[in-house]
Structure formats: C-alpha cells, structure tokens
Structure 1
Amino acid sequence: MSKKGQLEVINLLDLIKEQKEYTNFIVSEINNHALRIAVIDGEFHWHKHEDCDELFYVLEGELFIDLEGETTVSLKPGEVFTVPANTMHRTRSNERTVNICFEKSTNDIKGS
C-alpha cells in the first residue's frame, strides 16, 4: 500500500490488527522518505543502511535493537530511537511487537 500524497486518513493499527507473522511495508511516502509499519515476533537479520538513518517508534509490545559492539536498546510503546546510517543492527522481540519506521524511500541495505 504505497501512495504518494494521499488525501486519506489511515489507521496504522487497523492495517495490522490481524497480522501474526512478520511483515514490513510502506504505508506512505513523503518527499523522499517512507513511513513503514512492521510486525515482528522473533528476530530480523543483521544489516545496515549505508546512507540512511532509521527511526523506530514502538506502538505495541517491546522492540529490542541490537547494535554492533554488543549494545542493546529496549523500546516500549511511545518510545523512539534512531539508528545512525552505516550502523550494523538488527531488530527482535520476544512477543508480537508493532513499530513504525521512518527512513529514505530508497536505501541500500547491506546484510551480514
């Protein structure tokens, strides 16, 4: 569901209310950035965005962001954290967790 400049109200929680498995998709784009929503229960692979910061905002559950160097950030509903460009990281959770993410619409993801 990727629309540019839509004149439409979107309820983020309605988009994923029945979602149990991992999903991550663009809800909307503004200028050259995207608003993504993700449902995660488990872990995503290690990766980095070479030219793009990535901001996470948790709506439901608890999101862990593991950063290179063995640092882990824990985010609960209402909390925000930004991973700087070119920082190796992965997201994970111990239960169904919903987060939104702001990043460039096009960015290079490099995994390990």
Structure 2
Amino acid sequence: MKSVNLAEKLSQFSTHWDPHVVADYNENEVMVVKLMGAYPFHKHDNTDDFFYVLEGEMQMDIEGEPSRTVKAGELFVVPKGVVHRPRAESEVKVLLIEPKGEPNSGDSDREAAPKTRI
C-alpha cells in the first residue's frame, strides 16, 4: 500500500493517447493519460468508459447527441455500447479506470495502446 502522486506520474511521459497504469483496483487498472486532438469514434461492448479530468478541458462526442464539455474536477462515464470519442483542443490530463485487458481503442480500427506501468 502506498500513495500515488498523479502529477509526478504524468511528468514521466509526454505522449498523447498513451495510457500509463499507476495502480490496480480490484480487477481494474487505474491509469493516467494525456489527450490532445480527437480519438476515433468507438464503443466498448462489455464495459463502461470512465474519465476523470485532472487538468484542462475535453469534449466528449456521443454519436447522435450534442457534445459534452468535461472540465477539470469533473468525471464522465460513457455507458457500455455507446459510440463516443474524446477530443481536446489543447492538452488535457485524465485519470481512467478500465477492466484489466480492455483495449483503449474499443471496436475502432486504431491499434490499442500498450498499457505501460509507471
């Protein structure tokens, strides 16, 4: 058991759309990621998608619905099976929680990022 300094972990990498595992929680991985630009539309058939914005502001685009703005200190959960894409005009730092083994790319044609542990 130990505390995890998220700012320190985020300072260890500069890549975007590249989640890094910082802890395990039950059968889930807790990750930090930096977002910039738009990710492809995709869905996760077997799990909800959890986003907690640590710093910055992102848009969550939901197929067939208006975009939602998610600001620092806010979280957004996309229900399983819902087609979505996160995007950000400038860099955003986000905490993610996903079941172990869940690809961040969902059903898109984009190759899943490896989940490096830091």
Q: Is the 8 A contact 2:9 2:22 kept in 1?
A: no
Instruction: Tell me what 2:108 maps to.
Output: 111
Q: Is the 8 A contact 1:59 1:78 kept in 2?
A: yes
| Paired residue secondary structure (2:9) | helix
Residue type of the partner of 1:56? Answer: F
The percentage of aligned residue pairs carrying the same residue is 28
Map 1:22-61 → 2, pairs under 5 A: 22=16, 23-61=18-56
Deviation string, structure 1 residues 51-100 (Cα, Å, up to 9, x no partner): 10111110101011111114211111101111000111111101110011
Between the aligned partners of 2:30 and 2:91, the Cα distance in structure 1 is 20
- CA, structure 1 residues 96+18, in 2 after alignment: closer, same or farther (shift >3 Å)? farther
| 1:88 equivalenced with 2:83 (yes/no) | yes
* Greater Cα offset, 22-31 or 85-94: 22-31
> What TM-score, normalized to structure 2?
0.80
Q: Name which of 63, 68, 75 aligns with 1:68.
A: 63
Unaligned runs of 5+ in 1: 1-6
- CA, structure 1 residues 19+96, in 2 after alignment: closer, same or farther (shift >3 Å)? farther
RMSD (CA atoms):
1.6
Unaligned runs of 5+ in 2: 110-118
> What TM-score, normalized to structure 1?
0.84
Deviation string, structure 1 residues 11-42 (Cα, Å, up to 9, x no partner): 11111136443021222111111211110111
Q: Is the 8 A contact 1:21 1:41 kept in 2?
A: no
Between the aligned partners of 1:99 and 1:39, the Cα distance in structure 2 is 6
Between the aligned partners of 1:46 and 1:18, the Cα distance in structure 2 is 28
Instruction: Tell me what 1:4 maps to.
Output: none
| Paired residue secondary structure (2:96) | strand
